[in-house]
Amino acid sequence: MRYYPIKIPKIFKFIFNKWTWNFSSHKKEIYLTFDDGPLPVITPWVLEQLNIYNAKATFFCIGENIHKHPEVFQKVISENHSIGNHTYHHLNGWKTKDVDYIKNVRSTEKLLSNQSQRLFRPPFGKIKISQSRKLRELGYQIVMWEVLSADFDQKLSARECVENVLKNVKNGSIVVFHDSEKSFPRLKESLPIILKTLKDNGYVCKAIP
């Protein structure tokens, strides 16, 4: 049984209305996001696919991975994609003391010092209200999502990931993928199909401004 929604219910957006779930738009534009990188092989492959379809995206990076793979991180920046903070150690906010959580975010922030944006996505989508409040006080925009590809779910096929996205996106949707080893078997098959289909249907894939 699936324990997560593919499309976020409106009630979530209403209750947690200080977080960004999607963008209001009358244009055919989609905001693709990739969590958990940067990683060798996988992230460069994602960048290659985005280039093929003239698409831009937002990468929510783990600080530890930025430290380990600075050349991959610089490649994401050089290709003009947006960058977001995803904590340093991929922390579950529900299981982490506030002071430790904020410190972890700040550790990644130091690696993003040249980035003007302050975008943050909590790993697993799990963050306490108190943590969110503190991060917003620090100038962060908490970016969630409207549609999950669910590429992280090893029980799903790549085809199901494709359907999760294409059946649920609409103008202004924020969509989650993962440039991670766990997700790559499904991402490698599904992302090219999704990008081509979106482009064929007149959608433009943009980075979060």
Q: Among this protein's residues, is 179 annotated catalytic?
A: no
Distance CA(5)–CA(201), nearest Å, equals 25
**67, 178, 179, 200: which is the annotated catalytic residue?**
178
How distant, in Å, are the alpha carbons of 16, 202, 206 from that of 5?
16, 26, 24
Q: Which of 35, 36, 151, 153 is catalytic?
A: 35
Q: At what angle do helices 42-52 and 184-200 cross, to 10 degrees?
A: 10
Residue 178 annotated among the catalytic residues of the structure: yes
Grouping H, G, I as helix, E, B as strand and the rest as coil, residue 100 is helix
Are the beta carbons of 85 and 109 closer than 8 angstroms? yes
Dist CA 97 CA 126 (whole Å): 13
Q: CB under 8 Å to 52, separation ≥6 — which residues?
A: 192, 195
Which residues are designated catalytic?
Answer: 35, 178
